[in-house]
Amino acid sequence: MEFLVDVNEGDDVERVIDKVALVSGGARGIGAAVASRLHGEGARVVIGDVLDEEGKETAERIGSGALYVHLDVTNPQDWEAAVSAAVETFGSLGILVNNAGIVNFASIEEYTLEQWNAVISVNLTGTFNGIKAAIPALKASKGGSIVNISSIAGIRGYEKIPGYTASKFGVRGLTKSAALDLGHHGIRVNSVHPGVISTPMTAGLEMDMSRVALSRMGHPGEIADLVLYLASNESSFVTGAEFVIDGGDTAGTVTPPAGA
Ligand SMILES: NC(=O)c1ccc[n+]([C@@H]2O[C@H](COP(=O)([O-])OP(=O)(O)OC[C@H]3O[C@@H](n4cnc5c(N)ncnc54)[C@H](O)[C@@H]3O)[C@@H](O)[C@H]2O)c1
């Protein structure tokens, strides 16, 4: 058996050069950080969102090689248009980041069917729609990477967010099924499971981080770094896998130092 040792090409190589990425929910928060990070490493990026003004501003801030399109992830036609925009503007599609998400709150007794349908249609069906729409373009690129943003609520249960938790477990399962179906096309599919991250989604929520190993919330850029790895060829043997990035939240509970 031959053992190959890869030679690192050097730190100055842009990690996703010549790739084109589509990031849903990219107007702000984690999605905006992901779009910016991928662009900074050589990719051209299409940002899709329902927040048109914020999305355009984000694309302008990122600069040349970033394009905003209106994309409601619950709408398959919007997805077709977003994929076409990537291919027509930048020539191909190699990276899809299914990041758009919403959360709503109530205990299961009070949780309404409307709340359930809203969160499932964006977080889970939206991810399904994105995968479906991107497959032809990813196949035309002779492969690619799909990164689905789940949550630690896709790893363990949380009270008062039944729909969100179900949607994020769903994204985790969908990821594995899609990875199995698409592997022979060279399309990799992985899920990312962030802990509490400081974004507009968590603004105003009371979060006690003192019992988490790293005792703090995460930053969107920290999630973007992991997505960059999964989007790049550095993760060429990684598919169907789940990546927890939570400062140790799901590892267990720590006792805060006395006086902290
Ligand atoms: N912030 C956290 O603590 C945290 C933790 C775990 C997972 N996540 C997940 O990360 C992802 C990004 O969350 P965030 O914290 O950046 O939230 P955010 O609210 O700041 O950003 C979410 C983005 O998704 C967009 N969006 C909502 N509905 C949409 C739709 N129908 N079509 C297209 N875009 C839509 C929003 O307009 C917004 O720009 C979500 O999937 C979220 O569930 C967040």
15 lies in a domain?
A: no
Res 256: pLDDT: 86
Quickly state the pLDDT bin for 10 (edges 50, 70, 90). Answer: low
Percent of the chain past pLDDT 70, that is, above it, reads 95
User: Residues 224-246: pLDDT tens digits?
Assistant: 999 999 999 999 999 999 999 99
Dist CA 218 CA 152 (whole Å) = 13
10 lies in a domain?
A: no
Q: Does residue 8 carry a pLDDT above 70?
A: no
Which two three-digit tokens encode residue 241?
Answer: 């896998």
If one counts the domains in the chain, the total is 1
259 lies in a domain?
A: no
181 lies in a domain?
A: yes
Percent of the chain past pLDDT 90, that is, above it, reads 93
Dist CA 245 CA 227 (whole Å) = 11
Find out whether 209 and 216 touch, Cβ atoms under 8 Å. yes
Question: Which range of residues forms the domain containing residue 157?
Answer: 20-247
Interval between CA 133 and ligand 1 midpoint (Å): 20
Interval between CA 244 and ligand 1 midpoint (Å): 17
Interval between CA 150 and ligand 1 midpoint (Å): 10
The minimum-distance atom of ligand 1 relative to the CA of 54 is 39
160 lies in a domain?
A: yes
Whether 158 is catalytic: no
Count other Cβ atoms within 10 Å, centred on residue 117. Answer: 13
Res 6: pLDDT: 53
User: Residues 36-55: pLDDT tens digits?
Assistant: 999 999 999 999 999 999 99
Interval between CA 203 and ligand 1 midpoint (Å): 12
1 lies in a domain?
A: no
The mean pLDDT value for 117-129 works out to 99
The mean pLDDT value for 117-122 works out to 99
Higher pLDDT, 6 or 170: 170
Q: Does residue 5 carry a pLDDT above 60?
A: no
Find out whether 227 and 25 touch, Cβ atoms under 8 Å. no
The mean pLDDT value for 109-120 works out to 99
CATH code assigned at 178: 3.40.50.720
Protein residues with CB under 6 Å of any ligand 1 atom: 24-25, 27-31, 49-51, 71-74, 99-102, 122, 126, 149, 151, 194, 196-197, 199-202
pTM: 0.96
Ligand 1 mutation target, pool 70, 77, 102, most atoms within 8 A of CB? 102
The mean pLDDT value for 134-158 works out to 98
Catalytic choice (68, 111, 158, 164): 164
Res 2: pLDDT: 60
HSE-up of residue 178 (Cα within 13 Å, Cβ side): 26
Sign of the four-CA dihedral 58, 62, 64, 65: negative
254 lies in a domain?
A: no
Closest by Cα among 152, 118, 106 to 50: 118
7 lies in a domain?
A: no
Ligand 1 mutation target, pool 201, 209, 217, 227, most atoms within 8 A of CB? 201
Q: Does residue 17 carry a pLDDT above 90?
A: yes
Quickly state the pLDDT bin for 4 (edges 50, 70, 90). Answer: low
Quickly state the pLDDT bin for 169 (edges 50, 70, 90). Answer: very high
